Amino acid sequence: MRALVVRSPHDVALETLAEPITGDDEVLVAPLLAGMCGTDLELIDASIDPAYVHYPLTLGHEWVGQVLDDVPGVASHGDRVVVEGVIPCGDCDECLIGATNRCTIYDEIGFTRAGAIAERIVVPRRLVHRIDESANVDDAVLIEPMAVVWRALTRFSLRDNLNVAVVGDGTVALLAAHLVRRFRPARVVVVGRRAAQASLARAAGADEFVTDPPQGRFDLVIEAAGTGPSASSALALAGRGATVILLGLPAHGTIIDLAPDDLVNNDIVIQGSFAYTSQSFTEVVEQVNLGNLAPSFLITHRYSLERANDAIGALRGDVADDEPRGKVVITLT
Ligand SMILES: [Zn+2]
Ligand SMILES: [Zn+2]
């Protein structure tokens, strides 16, 4: 079968691999559609913390597929499914308190084990979720990044009527603007870099899209650009009592300046958020199946597996200045 493989850092290619073989408690899935994101570039470039990756690696951690085995009580052969990518052991102290994203044995599809930009993938049966007939594959492919955002937004309870700033204009930022609307904010401002992203930000639910730092301070700042300067910008937008959620993943080793007295005087909470818990993934699947979350408007670039290099180019910024760039996806069948 064909798969998009990072053999070693900077060496990514479409390869022919042996068919994967299912072991105990595993099922075979044929991916239908897979999203790519900035994290895939970090995996290609090896700028991610080496503790979180294993090469050679088949890419693909955002995806929807068609299950080729029965999953008793969940899905039948041929059903469309999504699969939790973070694989919890179920036994460690973190798993036992529901913090499956912090399982002491880190294992994740598309990071430490083969991902879904491939014609077939083997996954643990217990992590499979069925997608209803009524749900759209284009919405389902965004479940994984939505789960990342949803976990960050639901980790601590958010009050209504917040003034929200989202720093970044990539898919995670746009999904953050979209999902934070469910907490009835007073206002959502997306602080982006590319003016061409304005239409997507508005479609996502932003009240304003700006490319210069906005005036005033915010109650909730969500950093979703994943660079040192964007993290600094996010902290600078925090008002007294604000929460700053760090969702973006800067390159390993990034360091920024902080003024600790400002954090104390302004009573600031800084919250990192890693991946998603089993519960947050399940909640997002339920909402997609109910038709309450339909983010497919964010898909702007679609490529066949043969054109995966063009998808990588689009992610790296190889798009016209005035062209909106949302989610980049690869069609597998
Ligand atoms: Zn991703
Ligand atoms: Zn565990």
Question: From ligand 2's centre to the CA of 272, what distance in Å?
Answer: 20
pLDDT at 70 over 90: yes
* Residue 333 in this model has a pLDDT that exceeds 90: no
Residue 140 Cα to ligand 2 midpoint, Å, equals: 26
Considering every ligand atom, which ligand is closest to the CA of 145?
1
- Ligand nearest to C-alpha 147: 1
Tell me the three state secondary structure of residue 6.
strand
**Hey, which residues does 12 pair with through a beta bridge?**
6
pLDDT one-digit tens code per residue, 253-269: 999 999 999 999 999 99
Query: 40 alpha carbon to ligand 1 midpoint, in Å?
Result: 7
Q: Among the residues of 155-295, which ranges form H helices?
A: 171-180, 198-204, 228-236, 260-265, 278-289
Report how far ligand 1's centroid is from the alpha carbon of 218 (Å). 27
Q: Which domains are assigned to the chain? A: 2-143+276-331 (3.90.180.10), 156-272 (3.40.50.720)
The pTM of the full predicted model, rounded to 2 decimals, is 0.95
Mean pLDDT of 50-70: 97
**Residue 171 Cα to ligand 1 middle (Å):** 9
Ligand 1 centroid distance, CA of 262 (Å): 32
Q: What is the pLDDT of residues 12-39, one digit of tens each?
A: 999 999 999 999 999 999 999 999 999 9
Q: N- to C-terminal Cα distance for the chain? A: 12
Q: Is the pLDDT of residue 74 over 90?
A: yes
Q: What is the CA(256)–ligand 2 centre distance, in A?
A: 31
DSSP 192-221: -S-GGGHHHHHHHT-SEEESSPPSS-EEEE
Mean pLDDT for the chain overall: 96
